[in-house]
Amino acid sequence: MTTLTDPPQESFRPSMLINDTRYRSYTFQFIALIVLIGAIAYLLSNLFANLAAAGLNISYGFLHEPAGYDVQQTLIEYTSQSSHLRAAWVGILNTLLVAFLACLTATVLGVIAGVLRLSNNWLVSKLMSAYVEAFRNVPVLIWILVINTIVITMPAPRAYRGETPDAEMFLGLIAYTNRGVYIPAPTWGPGSGFVALVFLASIAAIFMYRRYAVRQLYDRGRDLPTFWPSLAILFVPTLLVYFIMGRPVGIEVPALQGFNFQGGTQIGRPLIALWLALSVYTGAFIAENVRAGIQAVSKGQTEAAFSLGLRPNRVMNLVVLPQALRVIIPPLISQYLNITKNSSLAIAVGYADVTATLGGITLNQTGRALECILLLMLFYLTISLLISAVMNVYNQSVSLKER
């Protein structure tokens, strides 16, 4: 009878570092580390030699010096005397603003186009595929510049002047000029806070009513209507309070004064160009994601739901959509990330996002290229890491619970 024994323990020899798979990976990693450290040291030594030769140093003190340039559209208070840091914040907020707006409209556009592309209506589905292919296959930079050109060729504010103006405001409320679009802005009179409070409360009430309806359905088998009651809860109390309080919330319509429109909210030309271009461009991608997600739900699911006797809208809401969303949402979130990154193209139309302020004017004025670009990259990295963290949390929450 033979017994299996371990082979005699070999003593370590240097050649095993190359030939023995147990040790070889350590050799490779060691070499890789040495090469990496060597490369970084080489680059850094070049950097310091170059900086010394140019009489520069790395410091972030410039951030607190006055910026000395103006920014057209700002969300926070900013003057040309504010610091470069303030200008960077203005840019960051502008980036987030355009990214947020574009995410909203791109989602709406993408969902509509994606659903319509699957429709049985031949003409509509062909029209939607034409939209998707046209916008997916042309650089977003070109679309930004094209929409910018469209805005530039709109009438100048002076076209609205005179007895018989060349241009008229849309519905008397919205003025579109080559400087941007002017829309009415709400004015908040005394007591308007209460109206807003009631409005928020009625939104909360809708959710509570819906939960109540679901509980009634599950516990008692009573099927309460949800659509009309929700609509009523949304509008009736707010309107009542609005009139009882004496109509405190008004709107301020933009009006032509001198050479430009005053009052209302101005949406500047660069913002419109960037916002619309990012929306239609990304909307085309989102449409493809939505279509893929709906098609990923197997036909058997729909048929099973119908055979249970569910109505078509219930089949959509209860069976198809929850399964399709699982497929749609991860690529949707990465499209949001793409919007945020593509918003850096603002620099091409002069929208003051963070790339244009921190990475553009501040960089050119102070000559602090290294520091500016490092900060810029850190900002975008933070955003994208945050978004991927959100995505991971979502993926874990919807992943199929298997075994």
Partner 1 sequence: MSDQTSSFAFVRTEQLAPQAPPAAAVGPVKWVRENLFSSIPYSILTMLALYCIYLILSGFLPWAMNGVWNTANIRECREILEGATGGCFSVLSERWNQLIFGVAYDQSQYWRPTLAFILLFIAAAPVLFPALPRQMLIFTGLYPFLAFYLIWGGTILAPIMVLVGCIVGYLVYSRLVSGSFAAGFFGGFAAAVVTWWVGGYIVGAIAPEQTMLSAVPSREMGGFMLNMILGVVCVSLSLPIGIALALGRQSDMPIIKWICVIFIEFVRGVPLITLLFVASVVLAYFMPPGTNFDLILRVIIMITMFSAAYIAEVIRGGLAALPRGQYEAADSLGLDYPQAMRLIILPQALKISIPGIVNVAVGLFKDTTLVSVISMFDLVGMIRGPILSSTDWNGVYWELWAFAILLFFVVCYGISQYSQWLERQLATDHR
Which tokens hold the place of 383? 């955003």
Phi, psi of 250 (to 5 degrees): -120, 180
Q: Which of 13, 20, 80, 119 binds partner 1 (CB under 8 A)?
A: 119
Position 400 contacts partner 1 (CB under 8 A): no
User: CA dist 103 to 96, 241, 313, 314, 337, Å?
Assistant: 10, 33, 27, 28, 9
Position 123 contacts partner 1 (CB under 8 A): yes
Strands in 213-353 per DSSP E: 249-252, 255-257, 260-262, 265-268
Position 298 contacts partner 1 (CB under 8 A): no
Helical ranges in 118-191 per DSSP H: 122-136, 140-152
How far apart are CB 32 and partner 1 at their closest, in Å?
A: 5
Q: Which of 37, 41, 49, 200 binds partner 1 (CB under 8 A)?
A: 49
How far apart are CB 280 and partner 1 at their closest, in Å?
A: 13
Report how many residues bind partner 1 under the rule CB under 8 A. Answer: 53
Q: Are 295 and 118 in contact (CB under 8 A)?
A: yes
In which residue are the tokens 């679009």 written?
181
Position 146 contacts partner 1 (CB under 8 A): yes
Position 107 contacts partner 1 (CB under 8 A): no
Q: Which of 194, 306, 380, 394 binds partner 1 (CB under 8 A)?
A: 380
Which tokens hold the place of 197? 């409070």
Q: Which stretch binds partner 1 (CB under 8 A): 189-197, 201-209, 230-238, 379-387?
A: 379-387
Q: Which of 83, 178, 323, 344 binds partner 1 (CB under 8 A)?
A: 344
Position 91 contacts partner 1 (CB under 8 A): no
Cα–Cα distance, 173 to 26 (Å, whole number): 71
Q: Which long-range contacts (CB under 8 A, 24 or more apart) does 316-321 make?
A: 320/294
How far apart are CB 385 and partner 1 at their closest, in Å?
A: 6
Position 376 contacts partner 1 (CB under 8 A): yes
Cα–Cα distance, 319 to 322 (Å, whole number): 6
Cα–Cα distance, 180 to 254 (Å, whole number): 12
Position 36 contacts partner 1 (CB under 8 A): yes
How far apart are CB 235 and partner 1 at their closest, in Å?
A: 25
Binding positions for partner 1, 16-35, rule CB under 8 A: 25, 28-29, 32-33
User: Which is closer to partner 1, CB of 43 or CB of 390?
Assistant: 43
Provide the mask over 153-172, with x wherever binding to partner 1 is found by CB under 8 A and - wherever it is not. Answer: x-------------------
Provide the mask over 173-212, with x wherever binding to partner 1 is found by CB under 8 A and - wherever it is not. Answer: ----------------------------------------
Q: Which of 104, 118, 134, 203 binds partner 1 (CB under 8 A)?
A: 134
Q: Are 102 and 343 in contact (CB under 8 A)?
A: yes
Q: Which of 80, 149, 295, 395 binds partner 1 (CB under 8 A)?
A: 149
Cα–Cα distance, 327 to 278 (Å, whole number): 23
Helical ranges in 16-139 per DSSP H: 16-19, 21-54, 84-117, 122-136
Residue 161's CB: how many other CB atoms inside 10 A?
13
Q: Are 353 and 346 in contact (CB under 8 A)?
A: yes
Q: Which of 345, 352, 361, 391 binds partner 1 (CB under 8 A)?
A: 345
Which tokens hold the place of 340? 């945020």
Cα–Cα distance, 181 to 176 (Å, whole number): 4
Position 108 contacts partner 1 (CB under 8 A): no
Position 43 contacts partner 1 (CB under 8 A): yes
Looking at this protein, which amino acid is placed at residue 335?
Q
Q: Which of 37, 124, 173, 200 binds partner 1 (CB under 8 A)?
A: 124
User: Which is closer to partner 1, CB of 133 or CB of 303?
Assistant: 133
User: CA dist 141 to 91, 135, 147, 285, 349, Å?
Assistant: 19, 11, 10, 16, 10
Q: Which residues bind partner 1 (CB under 8 A)?
A: 25, 28-29, 32-33, 36, 43, 46-47, 49-51, 53, 116, 119-124, 127, 133-134, 136-142, 145-146, 149, 153, 341-342, 344-345, 347-348, 355, 359, 363, 369-370, 373, 376-377, 380-381, 383-385
